[in-house]
Amino acid sequence: MVNPKQKKLAQKLLDQNFDGDFERLCSEVGIGMTVFYKWMGEAPFRKYLETMVEKRTYGEISVVWKALIDQCSKGNIPAIKLYFELKGKYKADTNVAALGLIQILDDIPAGDGND
């Protein structure tokens, strides 16, 4: 079980404006750095923090998907690859040529240069 200061610490850690200054964060919560590191090593606090991260990220899924699809529609190849990987339609070792998506034309007759 986490206490109110631990909950406050977790909220501040997950705040999008948090700049990574742990000393200031601890000061705002009213704890020392020693307590911060102790709490970070305790399973109940870490579990609470993970739960909070899951809740926050779950709420952003639609925004992320929209941004990914937007990048795909702009022709961003890495985004398109990621989209198909996430949908289970692409594997890094897929032989694209074997899927018939690429046709190499190597039967073009060599000209004599007078064409």
The 10s digit of each residue's pLDDT in 90-100 is 665 555 555 55
Amino acid 88: pLDDT? 82
Looking at the fold, whether 28 and 45 belong to one and the same domain comes out as: yes
**Residue 73 domain boundaries:** 62-99
Looking at the fold, whether 23 and 44 belong to one and the same domain comes out as: yes
Report the alpha-carbon distance of residue 105 to residue 80 in Å, rounded: 25
Whole-structure pTM value: 0.55
> For helices 33-40 and 4-14, what crossing angle results, to 10°?
90
Asked if residue 68 lies in contact with residue 26, where contact means CB atoms within 8 angstroms, the answer is no
The tens digit of pLDDT for each residue in 68-113 reads: 999 999 999 999 999 998 888 766 555 555 555 555 555 566 666 5
Amino acid 68: pLDDT? 94
Any domain includes 19: yes
Asked if residue 54 lies in contact with residue 13, where contact means CB atoms within 8 angstroms, the answer is no
Amino acid 33: pLDDT? 95
The tens digit of pLDDT for each residue in 20-66 reads: 999 999 999 999 999 999 999 999 999 999 999 988 888 788 888 99
Of the candidates 9, 11, 41, 40, the one whose C-alpha atom is nearest the C-alpha of residue 26 is 9
Looking at the fold, whether 66 and 46 belong to one and the same domain comes out as: no
